[in-house]
Amino acid sequence: MIHKLTVPISDEAIRALRVGDQVEISGVIFTARDAAHKYMVEQFIKTGGNPPESERALYELLKEKLNGGVIYHCGPVVVREDGKWRFVAAGPTTSIREEVYQDLVIEHFNVKAVIGKGGMGPRTLAACQKFAAVYLHAVGGAGTLIAERVVEVEDVHKLKEFGVPEAFWQIRVEGFPAVVTMDSHGNSIHAQVAAQSEARLKALVAA
């Protein structure tokens, strides 16, 4: 069974998911990597939702669109054609770098799903459990195929400041495929694999 999720995603839909479930996401989502996460925490969250006036428009947009929304850890390859942006490749980037920020962003913006690769740590897992969110694993190395699910680039924010890979790309996706690897019930495939690998290593060393 594939769970079809439409943004904004409800808490009920998130609580119904378990690790191992397949999902397809449709709607408007945002890419955000290191620079974008650091920016959200420093400009928006640490200011208590009172950013500088020059940043207020983007803050209000993110507060609206990320409420029940999705963040994708992705540094896309893009082209400009006939005045419009198009994604050429949109593979996931390694997520653990955002561990120091992700729980804060999930809470403040009411993010319901984070997409990336490699999994995240205990802070993010705790936030998923407390605020009804999930971590979704996208297929690494399939950037061109994933880009086909990006039906429209609606806008891009902080392009000049952050550059193409780190900018906030506001995209509309249809049937974006991913697998739940951290759910809202405290389960993490990544933590399980790490624990099993450590136990196996100890057994091999002791043998």
Q: Strand pairing partners for 77?
A: 89
* Helix ranges (DSSP H) in 23-158: 34-39, 56-65, 99-109, 122-131, 143-147
User: How far, CA to CA in Å, does 32 sit from each of 20, 24, 53, 177, 191?
Assistant: 24, 19, 22, 18, 24
Six-digit token string for 14: 């998130």
Query: Could you confirm whether 37 is annotated as catalytic?
Result: yes
Sign of dihedral through CA atoms 5, 8, 48, 59? positive
Q: How would DSSP label each residue in 93-116? A: -BSGGGHHHHHHHHHHHT--EEEE
Six-digit token string for 188: 């993490």
**Catalytic, out of 37, 137, 157, 190:** 37
For the annotated catalytic residues, the residue numbers are 37
